[in-house]
Structure 1
Amino acid sequence: MTVPSNDSKSSFGRWIGFAIIVISLYVTWQIRQILLILFMAIVLANALDILVETIRRRGIKRGIAILITIVVLLLSLVGLFGIIIPSFLGQFQQLVNLVPRGINQLTTNINQLITRLDPDLVAVLPTVDQVIAQLQPILQQIASRGLNIFYSSLGTLLSSILLIALTLMLLANPVPYRNCLIRLFPAFYRQRVDEILKMCNQALRGWLKEITFDMSLMTLFSLIGLSIFGIPLALTQAILTGILTFIPNIGIGLSVIPPLAIALLEEPWKPPAVILLYFYCYLAIQKLDNNPRFAKLSTYPAVLLPGFILLGQLFFGTIFGILGLFLAVPLLIVSQIWLKEVLIKDVLNKWE
């Protein structure tokens, strides 16, 4: 009877490990929508936990602080859907009707400008229709995936209830869920995983504070500026600007389209004024974020390069659609920490 050698045993063990990794990746890909809901619940739970910790600093027990936070959240939702949303939807419908008119006016102005240029230069430059045709496949793919995820996950009442339930469970008692995740790793690495999870939690909280700060300022600044310029539907556009600020880089570009389109229907000085308004608002927020006085509020330990953010938005937007664009930065923050701590520090830096 032949006894298997140690080399054959180790080779068999490596193949088993490789097969487990492949199967795990396949299962993860198949349940990616569920994992996205779970990640959204983690982000929301972290956001609510910031309020819980703020209340606890006043000497209130965590259970009572969580109850107060839930009551505040419910009252905010009632006020949002009962007071703000109806008026917002009414003005938003007007905005939807005005923006195409402004875009048509912009197209007319561009065509008039093209007729005044050198014909040889015009032949080299791509037309507006060509640019739109090149962007259309990417936009359609992102939109279709966004709609699929919306209708298959967040579009149903059951999934919304699941998201809220997961958020409240993670907020009320996150330790058991954290321990379950840690136990998925080998015993010798569990302490290290716990450290990495703490880093991710700290980074997400810092980013949530920063993005809330930026969204509030962009809403306030755009509201004041658009009101001074006399741009119609200033409040609705300011709220929309604040929401889109959640998407770095791309959001500020998308948020300027509605006020710019409407400004094209007004006096000639208003379009450049709107562009300058949003440009200086963006610069002001960047300076405030880098100001040492706001360091505790606006900075977080995970530093993302702008190029990586754009690539991450394209990657997660292609996979998850609109929700991927909104959650691209927190997904990148968590991914960067895991890659840095596990792959670089624990594997590559110790690889001899």
Structure 2
Amino acid sequence: MSDEHALDADELEQLDQRGPAELNDPFVRREMKKAAVWIGMAVGVAALVILAEPLLLIFGGVVFAAILDGGTRLLGRVLPIGRGWRLLIVSLVALAFIAGTIWFAGFQLTAEFARLRDIVTLQINRLLALGATYGLGVETVQPQQLFEQAMSSLGRLTSAVSSVLGGLTNLVMIVVIGLFIAVEPRIYERGIAWMLPSDIRGRYFRTSDRVGKTLRHLMAGRLLGMAVEGVGTWLLLLMGGVPMAALLGLLTGILAFLPNIGAIVSGLLIILIGFSVNFETGLWAIAVYVIVQIVDGYLIVPYVAKKTVDLAPALVLGAQVIFGALFGIIGLALADPLVAMIKAALDQKSVDDEAAAEAETPPPRPAPA
């Protein structure tokens, strides 16, 4: 090789250095990790938006599994048989209740539903006419307009939930997922733990136990509230001669699953139906609503909060508004359990952090003699 093509020492040293395209270079690997994190976050957000409804259905299945598991544990206190048999009994009772409610509401109360719609529409139009006399300038509404406006206010991201077929399909999926999870919940818990680093699996199991216990107690309290509100409303309205007492009791019990919003909707229906008869019946309907809500608010809700987590009403209402606007009825129904699970997980994290801080703190030195 000629001298003009010979490489000096600096050029040879540059050739020995790694190029920017080599993956072994620490700088390249560091920048690729940063890019992977940003790309992963973008993909995760996109997947969350696209898979929002399936993820909510899975979470609904987890909530239903918590109900079944809680009932199985409760039944074990009075019936000393295997868990499989207890779960079978609870599952059959739950499925019978769901099927019976659908049959009772769909077939036995069809005529009353139509009557309820007409009465509510008439009463709302009376209120609007009263407002028009004071110069509010409002017009009358039709039942279909009320339904469409209510559905559009719950969000359009999952419009299929608004239809009867879509709602029944989602309900079936939630029930099936919940049954599979309730049969052997530890399989799924260990599967998630297997994907986590070994040094945080202990914290994961503690968090999972606390979240599961919170969800079981929350759902038990919610079912108790539904039963008390539904049966109490039905009996009290029946005593006061309010028409469609059975239908109003059923709707009140179902809507009790939705804190805050459900009570408002059921209360408006009860009061409108009561005043459709006469003024005295309307006052009785108001008294029934107040009594039922006092029992639920001052007895059942504090007891559930003591056993689970104390959720601020404004926090729950805000979560319901956001999830209802984004995901429709199913988001509205699952907002409260999701907030309770997040708060339970954060509480457990705080406990673990405090325990870790105390373990790292050296013991105090003894005082000099």
TM interval, short-chain normalised: 0.7 to 0.9
| 1:322 corresponds to 2:334 | no
Paired residue for 2:74, among 39, 42, 54?
54
2:89 alignment partner AA: I
What SS does the corresponding residue of 2:73 show, helix, strand or coil? helix
Paired residue for 1:39, among 59, 66, 74?
59
Length, aligned pairs only: 328
1:50 Cα deviation from its structure 2 partner: 1.7
Q: Name the stretch that deviates more: 281-290 or 325-334.
A: 281-290
Deviations 1:37-89 (A, max 9, x none): 11111111111112212232321011222222233334445544555642123
Match of 2:288 in 1: 277
TM-score by length of 1: 0.81
Match of 2:271 in 1: 260
Match of 1:105 in 2: 126
Match of 2:298 in 1: 287
Match of 2:178 in 1: 167
Does the Cα contact within 8 Å between 2:87 and 2:183 map onto a contact in 1?
yes
Q: Whose Rg is larger?
A: 2
Q: Name the stretch that deviates more: 165-174 or 8-17.
A: 8-17
Deviations 1:140-197 (A, max 9, x none): 241544533455994475x555433322111111112122222333332222122211
Does the Cα contact within 8 Å between 1:105 and 1:264 map onto a contact in 2?
no
CA distance in 2, matches of 1:137, 1:160: 23
Does the Cα contact within 8 Å between 1:316 and 1:324 map onto a contact in 2?
yes
Match of 2:17 in 1: 2
- Structure 2 stretches lacking a partner, 5+ long: 1-15, 19-23, 140-147, 358-369
TM-score by length of 2: 0.77
1:109 Cα deviation from its structure 2 partner: 3.2
Q: Name the stretch that deviates more: 38-47 or 26-35.
A: 26-35
Q: Name the stretch that deviates more: 228-237 or 18-27.
A: 18-27
Does the Cα contact within 8 Å between 1:263 and 1:274 map onto a contact in 2?
yes
Paired residue for 1:218, among 224, 229, 241?
229
Deviations 1:253-291 (A, max 9, x none): 100222222223222233343233312321222221366
Aligned residue runs from structure 1 range 73-222, under 5 A? 73-82=94-103, 85-112=106-133, 114=134, 140-142=152-154, 144-150=156-162, 154-155=166-167, 157=169, 161-222=172-233
CA distance in 1, matches of 2:82, 2:110: 39
1:75/1:269 Cα in 2 relative to 1: closer, same or farther (>3 Å)? closer
| 1:337 corresponds to 2:344 | yes
2:17 alignment partner AA: T
1:228 Cα deviation from its structure 2 partner: 2.7
Q: Comparing both chains, which one has the higher relative contact order based on Cα–Cα distances under 8 Å and sequence gaps of 6 or more? A: 1
1:316 alignment partner AA: F
1:334 alignment partner AA: M
CA distance in 1, matches of 2:72, 2:213: 15
Once the two structures are aligned, what percentage of the paired residues are identical? 21
- Structure 1 stretches lacking a partner, 5+ long: 116-125, 130-135
CA distance in 2, matches of 1:28, 1:152: 25
1:154/1:138 Cα in 2 relative to 1: closer, same or farther (>3 Å)? closer
What SS does the corresponding residue of 2:109 show, helix, strand or coil? helix
CA distance in 2, matches of 1:21, 1:250: 34
CA distance in 2, matches of 1:61, 1:81: 31
Does the Cα contact within 8 Å between 1:206 and 1:298 map onto a contact in 2?
no
Does the Cα contact within 8 Å between 1:106 and 1:261 map onto a contact in 2?
no
Q: Name the stretch that deviates more: 71-80 or 253-262.
A: 71-80
CA distance in 2, matches of 1:137, 1:263: 24
Match of 2:43 in 1: 23
1:11 Cα deviation from its structure 2 partner: 4.4
Deviations 1:100-149 (A, max 9, x none): 1111222233444x36xxxxxxxxxx7667xxxxxx98862415445334
CA distance in 1, matches of 2:97, 2:151: 33
1:16 Cα deviation from its structure 2 partner: 2.2
CA distance in 2, matches of 1:77, 1:289: 23
CA distance in 2, matches of 1:75, 1:137: 33
What SS does the corresponding residue of 1:265 show, helix, strand or coil? helix
Match of 1:122 in 2: none
2:50 alignment partner AA: Q
